[in-house]
Amino acid sequence: THVVAEPCFNCKYTDCVVVCPVECFYEGESMLYIHPDECIDCEACIPECPVEAIFHEDNLPEEWNEFTQLNADMSPQCPVITEQKAPMGGDDAACEQK
C-alpha cells in the first residue's frame, strides 16, 4: 500500500485525489490518508504531489514510519475526497515553506 506522510500536514494540495482510480483518499483535518485495503499501488498519485508526501510503505523514510499506522487508523474514520480543493491557508505559502 501507499502512505501519505508528514509533508501533507497543514498542506493538503489534493492533486493526488484526482488521479486515484480507486478513490482511496480520505480527508482528515490537517492531512489526507490512504486506505490501505483500497490502494492498488498504481503509483499515479506519487508524481502529482507537489511536496512529495506520498510513498510506498517500503520506501517511506524511517522518520515517518508512524504514518503507515496513522493512515490505516485514520482513513476509515474520515470522509472520502475525490475532488481537488484549495490547499490549506488559502494560498500555497504554508506548503512551499516545507
Least distance between ligand F3S and beta carbon 49 (Å) = 3
Least distance between ligand F3S and beta carbon 53 (Å) = 4
**Contacts with ligand F3S, residue ranges (CB under 6 A):** 4, 8, 11-16, 32, 48-49, 51, 53-54
Residue 91: partners with Cβ closer than 8 Å, 6 or more residues away: none
* 3-state helix vs strand vs coil in the chain, percent to 5: 35, 15, 55
**Closer residue to ligand F3S, CB minimum distance, 16 or 74:** 16
Residue 59: partners with Cβ closer than 8 Å, 6 or more residues away: none
**Closer residue to ligand F3S, CB minimum distance, 30 or 73:** 30
Cα–Cα distance measured from residue 24 to residue 22, given in angstroms and rounded to the nearest whole number: 6
Least distance between ligand F3S and beta carbon 62 (Å) = 19
